[in-house]
């Protein structure tokens, strides 16, 4: 039983690192473009290649942001497959909260909202 637990912990550690890297890149690029990702409809705007969601013009960073968002969805689906949906969501929520603390209101959203 302890081998299974060690394997599960190793899997979770690998996925934590991968998800954290992608979410950090998303946050960095969003900050460069002044995109308030946590505001309603903004992620969809980025995915639809709508640069009007940017607070400043930075085409290179916007492209990187869009690519990172797409990668984030791919990584999330793979994490669901490997960890299970509940475990993956818990992991993503912890990482999201860490990023909110780091970037503060730069990412948008309501104050104090999860």
Q: pLDDT tens digits for 31-71?
A: 999 999 889 999 999 999 999 999 999 999 999 999 999 99
Distance (Å, whole) CA 80 – CA 90:
11
Domain assignment present for residue 111? The answer is no
Domain assignment present for residue 113? The answer is no
Are residues 31 and 103 in contact, defined by beta-carbon separation less than 8 angstroms?
Answer: yes
Closest Cα to residue 19, out of 86, 84, 96, 82?
96
| Domain limits for position 41 | 2-101
Are residues 65 and 26 in contact, defined by beta-carbon separation less than 8 angstroms?
Answer: yes
Residue-wise pLDDT for 55-66, tens only, equals 999 999 999 999
Distances (CA, A) of 64 to 13, 38, 50, 81, 110: 25, 18, 14, 26, 25
With a cut of 90, say whether residue 28 has pLDDT above it: yes
Domain assignment present for residue 114? The answer is no
pLDDT at position 15 is 87
pLDDT-based confidence at 112, cuts 50/70/90?
very low
Our count of domains for the chain comes to 1
Domain assignment present for residue 106? The answer is no
């Amino acid at each position: 039983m302890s081998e299974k637990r060690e394997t599960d912990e190793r899997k979770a550690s690998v996925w934590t690192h991968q998800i954290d890297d992608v979410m950090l890149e998303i946050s960095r690029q969003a900050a460069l473009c002044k995109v308030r990702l946590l505001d309603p409809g903004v992620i969809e705007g980025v995915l639809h290649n709508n640069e009007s969601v940017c607070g400043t013009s930075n085409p290179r960073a916007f492209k990187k942001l869009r690519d990172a968002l797409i990668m984030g969805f791919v990584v999330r689906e793979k994490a669901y497959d490997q960890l299970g949906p509940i475990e993956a969501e818990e992991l993503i929520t912890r990482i999201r909260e860490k990023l909110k603390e780091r970037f503060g209101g730069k990412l948008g959203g309501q104050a104090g909202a999860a």
